[in-house]
Structure 1
Amino acid sequence: MLQTWGLVTRSHALHLDEENAAMSRSHQSRGMICSLFSGRAHWASAGHPRYPLVGLAAMCVVGLVAALVVAGEKAPRTGGTLKIAWVGEPPTLDIHKSTTTSTRRLAWHMFERLFTFDEQYNLIPELAEGYEVSSDGKTYTVRLRKGVLFHNGNELTAEDVIASLKRWMDNDPIPKNYLIPDLEALEATGPHAFEIRLKQPNGATIDFLASIAQGPVIYPKEVIEEAGKDQIKRFIGTGPYQFVEYLPDRHIRLKRFDRYSARSEAANGYGGKRAAYLDELIFYPVADVAVRAAGVEAGDFDVAIEVSTDDYDRFANHPLVDPVIAGPAAYVVFVPNKKSPTMGNVKIRQALLAAIDVEPLMKVAFGDQRFYRLDCSILMKETAWWSQAGCELYNQKNVQKAKQLLQEAGYDGTPIRWITTQVYQQMYKTSVAVKSQLEAAGFKIDLQVLDWATLSKKRYEADFYDVFVTYFTYRPSPVLFYTVLAKTWAGFWDNPKKDELIVQTLRATDQKRQFELWSQLQRLIYEDVPFVRTGDFFDLHLKRKEVKNLTNKPEVFFWNVWIEP
């Protein structure tokens, strides 16, 4: 029997006793399996011969649910408009076309995937009802929920899913590089079922379908056809909120989709029942972090996303505003352009890595230690993929080594065009702080500040920059990390050994072997330096006290949120 799933996340291991109790109360009749790539539960038909029920460690989460109302809280209330101070203008609302956080965190209120993640980052169905895998691991049959409606009133069918997945595969580097080569056919087998047929087993197939960044959201087939190779022209999905209007530099307005087909399970992480309690969501692009915070305090906004952590003490005991610490959210990265004449030289990239002292950067950007931590692992401590491979090269703060590497590389003082943004203060502050560190090691840094939408586009222009700044959000598995490792992603890391290790990881069926391969890939990242990792950080959001049930998870969302007068 082909083994494709098995690892358990660290966070899951800490909650086994709680989950055992929940499972004894559960009325779920489905069987489930655990993802080797994520330690997350995958739902399949009960009694499927390929997935016998095994011991507790392999059972993952079945009965654990996230309660909407905490003890003593009033029942959710329907109605009202939530005014959200958003982090700048999203470059697009077409998730297939963008990896940016501002796009997906806004647009996933309109668009949904086949699978998503529960409270412990186990995979659970979203638009899917379940799936089966053939005994040879080459055929996945995915069943869709019936009666799910798009915002135009048409029912979701397998034809919509096929069209959406094909378009996603054409745009997202993850499936383009690591799924399409194995794909034999993608076909509807009925109005509410389709098959993924592979040339050879790929244990991450379902993980791909739950990807968050540039994820495989489902659009109507006709919307995809009218868009062609361009961005979609009509924002029609199946989510709890539907598109109303987009006025650039003013706001994006969504309203409740009254015919939304919510799941029956209790809310659980990013999945389960999604209730649209609010009449409207209005996202205001507010690039200035201080204006976002002041707007919530004044009552102009109900929620402000990603305000300065320096504001925490001011709002900790505020009579009208609650601070929300969310995360671990992400870590800031400095991404060299491997096609540039300077940063294409690996010794110059290694000098960049050697010179950096991470702690001062984190203090400048986040101040309070409640909002950051140092860690070398590419995937965070909360995952099953936390590794120490290559960690001797993290946070070296070795100026002399950096100078020696620059000398060996023949660096002639050519200015390094370093593009950053003030829209995300953590990116700007770390850029300013690291500039002095790098110049002390012999670099000459030309710091250029762009708005986020411009930076998001310009980072794909190889002749425009040498280093750009972004952050990598929390990813519970390597599969969800592969986008930023693809040679077509900004920074352009083209390394045959990297590609070989990723393929080997996808093919491996032994859990220990998979972790070894991922650790080898992490070491290669530190040696070849496609990016430089800083420290993990936690976001600070603000909400008016009347706003209830705002998540503290890494990815923010506003379904299951209500306003209590």
Structure 2
Amino acid sequence: MQIAKRSSPAPRGLAGVAAGLTMATALLFGSGVAAQPRPAATPKPGGTLTIGTEADPSSLDPLRIGSYVERQFAIVVYDTLFDVDVQGRIVPSLATGYQVSPDGRKYTLSLREGVKFHDGTPFNAEAVVFNLDRVRDPANTCRCLGNVAAIESVKATGPYKVEIQLKTAYASFPAILTDAPAMMASPTAVRADPKGYGNAPVGTGPFKLVEWTKGSRFIAEKNPHYWKGGQPYLDRVVLRGLQNSETREATMQSGALDVLTQPPPKFAAAVRKDKRFAYIDPTGFGSMFVAFNLQNEALKDVRVRMAIAHATQRELLVKAIYHGLPKVATTPFGYGLPGLSQVKDYPEYNLAKAKALLAEYGKPVSVSILADNQPVALMTIQALQQMWQKAGIKVELKLVDQARLVQNMLSHEFDAALFRWSGRPDPDLNVYGFFHSSTASRKVSSNYGQYASAEMDRLLDAGRQELDPAKRAVIYNDVSRLLARDVPYVFLSYIAAPIIATHKVRGIDPVPDSLVRVASVWKEQ
């Protein structure tokens, strides 16, 4: 379905895509995801779906949404302007399509008519302008600010038409409209309680929030006026944030959960062979890594960061702790973004080289590693501690809950941190906000380590403005090589985020972001 139009010819996509700038060819796309291993059947209405997650969000205001768990909760109540399908392509949602100007700077969105927010507020062009202006206002400190800063203006040109003018061409802009900046919140609800809105989100989504006991249960009931004909099938969705991994496993095994997201690796490896459950394995967009804070006196020296990279046995970590489920990473771009190359000379394990670099640095090195308080994270940083100490680095371990980890990362309160980015369907969204110098000086930003490089800026700016996917691939391969040279992160593995479900659960699509889109899910009764 072609939902984008362009007045001049567009270049050919990376994966042999037909010419013409459709939503898909604006991206590096395709995923080769694993299909759900059950035959199709006629959806049956009714029932409650209970989903277990590894944490409970602190807020569901789109301004504060970024992590996997936050997005999983959010898509129960929100729709975005566009969505992602199982091939990693962008598809219509609240917006039915767009037109883009020949210079790539003006997008005109066509909106779906007849949609209402849960509180009865009409969804229309004014609502879209309200939401996009809100997320791009620096005073609101949206976590997405680096991705929406390129917006120059947003205006309604009709009841269901929105014109977005960009400061420069922005090849990844359609992908941004699938993410948190384009989660449409009710203007009425936001205006009524701007500070408390994140505790009582109101969207147009398939379910509407009826009860949220933080740290316990998030209960949402069917939106009877949902715009997707016949959906949702379920009467109710319950999300449970279970921070303790053993509790998550036991709860799933007991039958109290229908779906478990982000299962611990050991459990996932066992369940993969367990016929009692369905194992759904999307191909991910992102990566797991150790991020360095370059304001740390030792870590600002690239020799120290490179020494740590050489002291890290990444293959051993993946095999011993993650049971070989993910693949060792050399870039920030997961296999859900094909067409990009691995870095052939990524810093390999070489303890002698690590010691030589530290000797050249000539000062004692002491760092702390921050991680969330999950057993697998603790095992990972304990292993890193042992590896780095063999090179002569003194290492302290710090554990916090996931919400605090995210906040510490955003406010740059760490030395080194074990973190993951689930990734997005365009390479720009895996790197720009994290490594462009324009985000380095902000008190709160996703440039966690405050990395700044003029060479990186040139590449990232070029990647955003280049509309030819083949040329973009060259640029992002150069980004990967520069990251391997400067090592603001040590990439450990690509994302492996399987979804485990009972066999009563049907309709989970293996989208590469691993989010369960509950509108299409149903249960055998």
* TM-score after normalising by structure 1: 0.81
**Which residue of the partner structure matches residue 116 of structure 1?**
83
Matches within 5 A, 1:300-319: 300-312=256-268, 314-315=270-271, 318=274
Residue 429 (structure 1) aligned with residue 379 (structure 2): yes
Inter-partner Cα distance in structure 2 for 1:380 and 1:4: 29
Residue 397 (structure 1) aligned with residue 343 (structure 2): no
Inter-partner Cα distance in structure 1 for 2:306 and 2:142: 26
> How far apart are residue 510 of structure 1 and its match?
4.2
**Which residue of the partner structure matches residue 301 of structure 2?**
345
* Kept after mapping to 2: 8 A contact 1:208/1:479: no
State which of 217, 223, 238 in structure 2 corresponds to 1:282. Answer: 238
Matches within 5 A, 1:48-447: 71=39, 73-170=40-137, 176-177=145-146, 179-181=148-150, 183-210=151-178, 212=179, 214-228=180-194, 232=198, 234-262=200-228, 275-312=231-268, 314-315=270-271, 318=274, 320-328=276-284, 330-367=286-323, 369=324, 371-388=325-342, 390-394=343-347, 396-414=348-366, 416-423=367-374, 425-447=375-397
Segment drifting more, 149-158 vs 377-386:
377-386
Inter-partner Cα distance in structure 1 for 2:467 and 2:7: 7
Deviation string 1:440-466 (CA, Å, 9 cap, x unpaired) is 11111101111111111122343x420
**Which residue of the partner structure matches residue 496 of structure 1?**
454
Higher relative CO (Cα under 8 Å, sequence separation at least 6) belongs to: 2
> How far apart are residue 175 of structure 1 and its match?
6.5
> How far apart are residue 247 of structure 1 and its match?
0.6
* Kept after mapping to 1: 8 A contact 2:371/2:399: yes
The 3 A distance-change label for structure 1 pair 411 and 279 is farther
**Which residue of the partner structure matches residue 405 of structure 2?**
455
State which of 27, 36, 50 in structure 2 corresponds to 1:38. Answer: 27
**Which residue of the partner structure matches residue 491 of structure 2?**
533
* Kept after mapping to 2: 8 A contact 1:549/1:560: yes
Q: Cα RMSD over matched residues? A: 3.0
Inter-partner Cα distance in structure 2 for 1:304 and 1:278: 17
* Kept after mapping to 1: 8 A contact 2:63/2:143: no
**Which residue of the partner structure matches residue 507 of structure 1?**
465
* Kept after mapping to 2: 8 A contact 1:96/1:216: no
Inter-partner Cα distance in structure 1 for 2:143 and 2:428: 8
**Which residue of the partner structure matches residue 269 of structure 1?**
none
- SS of equivalent to 1:141: strand
Amino acid at match of 2:67: T
> How far apart are residue 392 of structure 1 and its match?
0.6
Matches within 5 A, 1:537-548: 537-548=495-506
Deviation string 1:255-274 (CA, Å, 9 cap, x unpaired) is 11111111x6xxxxxxxxx8
Inter-partner Cα distance in structure 2 for 1:2 and 1:498: 32
The 3 A distance-change label for structure 1 pair 4 and 410 is farther
> How far apart are residue 357 of structure 1 and its match?
1.5
Identity among equivalent pairs (%): 23
* Kept after mapping to 2: 8 A contact 1:335/1:467: yes
State which of 466, 491, 499 in structure 1 corresponds to 2:415. Answer: 466
Inter-partner Cα distance in structure 2 for 1:35 and 1:546: 33
**Which residue of the partner structure matches residue 24 of structure 1?**
none
Number of residue pairs aligned between Structure 1 and Structure 2 = 504
- SS of equivalent to 1:434: helix
* Kept after mapping to 2: 8 A contact 1:323/1:540: yes
> How far apart are residue 96 of structure 1 and its match?
2.4
Amino acid at match of 2:252: V
Inter-partner Cα distance in structure 2 for 1:547 and 1:166: 39
Inter-partner Cα distance in structure 2 for 1:152 and 1:366: 44
Inter-partner Cα distance in structure 2 for 1:519 and 1:562: 41
* TM-score after normalising by structure 2: 0.87
The 3 A distance-change label for structure 1 pair 338 and 207 is same
- SS of equivalent to 2:182: coil
Inter-partner Cα distance in structure 1 for 2:38 and 2:172: 36
> How far apart are residue 391 of structure 1 and its match?
3.3
Amino acid at match of 2:464: L
* Kept after mapping to 2: 8 A contact 1:419/1:469: yes
**Which residue of the partner structure matches residue 559 of structure 1?**
519
Inter-partner Cα distance in structure 2 for 1:3 and 1:113: 28
Inter-partner Cα distance in structure 1 for 2:352 and 2:171: 45
